[in-house]
Amino acid sequence: MVQTLDILDIGSNGDGIARTDDGRTVFVPLTARGDVVEATIDKEGRGQLISVVTPSPDRAVPPCRHFGICGGCSLQHINNDAYHHFKRDTVLSMLEKAGVQRPDDVDAIFIPDHTRRRANFAARSVKGKTVIGFHERKSANIRDVPDCLLITDELRAAMEAFRPYVADIAGEGNKIDILIQCIEGQTEIALTGKIAPGWEAQQALSDALRATGAARISLRARDYDQYEMLLEDKPCYKNFGPITVNLAPGAFLQPSDEGEWALTKCVMDGAGDAARVVDLFCGNGTFTGPLGEGRDVIAFDLAADAIVALKSIGVQAHLRNLFKDPLAVEELVSADCVVLDPPRAGAQAQIQILAQTDIPRIVYVSCSPQTFARDAAILVQCGYKLEKLTIVDQFIWSPHTEIVGVFS
């Protein structure tokens, strides 16, 4: 049944929010606040947009011809002012709900398009045609996106150079995921899935390495498995301030150079003149390196390959599962600043301990407003103040947002 709905706002997942005549809340993707739309509604309260009856002043023409079908972006249909408001309001409303006072100093940095240096594509070859791109919205189908507006020209060139080899590498009809990273003039390709049996696949891998100019190609069977090297022409190095790290295959990096620089500046400003810094969830050393100039820095992470790489170049890095074994109060007494950049799940166990300390400054980098607000509330309840907040939008045209909060 088709219903006419007024879109009241955009929710944290990027979908328009409406209410039916009987008071039910409905989420309608691809709508803008102020739209009047026709939509169908399923039993879970999910709306399917049929038509826009009266467009909102916030509505804009999407810049990408794939928008609405490709699942890579969800917010190209609203104008810049509405988009910027959505990003800020999502973070600030989460803090308000958690009881955390909004700081006086709130800044926002919006990374431009065509800047993504890493992307995870899906690919499949059927009857001589290879599709390589992103999944369509709510579908297992793959949308070919040769003109994607998110990625750099360098990344696009690597994607297209790899395309002719997908059929032989994966086999007819088989899907394979392709992570491509362009790192300071180097290209890395990391595959998830199965390689087809036979010599043709092995030859195609070798040819793809040469055609793309990649430093290496690695493989894992499933998401979250560790990548194993298939072919390597040379190591893949990344500079983080004064340190140069030999990255493990498929190593996690920020999606753009611009985003990495913005986050690093926020962290450095937040650390101020601190002389002894503990860097938690340090990863490959994104902040460890820059912080180490003129400071004593100790780094911790559960990624064994990252810790081995950091230790090999003299960084004080330690393997530690901070979710199950957070640093104790007595291990933090000498620090005058703690920097932490946890995964989307946040760092609740470690934050509960940090809240018991009197460390002068805590700089918290987060990719989840929800878990950031939850953890911020713990610190605030124990006497810390959120004095500065910076929103770094490097997940362009998506509901995801990066945050840097400075607590004192």
Cα 339 from chain centre: 18
Taking the C-alpha atoms of residue 249 and residue 218, their distance in angstroms, rounded to an integer, is 6
Contact 251, 202 (CB under 8 A): no
Contact 392, 259 (CB under 8 A): yes
Three-class SS of residue 230? strand
Catalytic residue among 148, 236, 337, 367: 367
Q: In sequence order, what are the residues at sequence separation of 6 or more whose Cβ sits closer than 8 angstroms to the Cβ of residue 289?
A: 239, 240, 241, 242, 243, 245, 315
Give whole-number Cα distances, 125 to 90, 144, 170, 242, in Å. 40, 12, 8, 43
Three-class SS of residue 351? helix
Q: Find the radius of gyration of the CA atoms of the chain.
A: 23
Active-site residue 367, yes or no?
yes
Three-class SS of residue 349? helix
Taking the C-alpha atoms of residue 67 and residue 397, their distance in angstroms, rounded to an integer, is 10
Q: Closest by alpha carbon to 222, among 176, 170, 163, 172?
A: 176
Taking the C-alpha atoms of residue 166 and residue 160, their distance in angstroms, rounded to an integer, is 11
Taking the C-alpha atoms of residue 55 and residue 50, their distance in angstroms, rounded to an integer, is 13
Contact 298, 278 (CB under 8 A): yes
Q: In sequence order, what are the residues at sequence separation of 6 or more whose Cβ sits closer than 8 angstroms to the Cβ of residue 343?
A: 281, 367
Taking the C-alpha atoms of residue 373 and residue 96, their distance in angstroms, rounded to an integer, is 8
Residue with tokens 């390709």: 189
Active site (catalytic) residues: 367
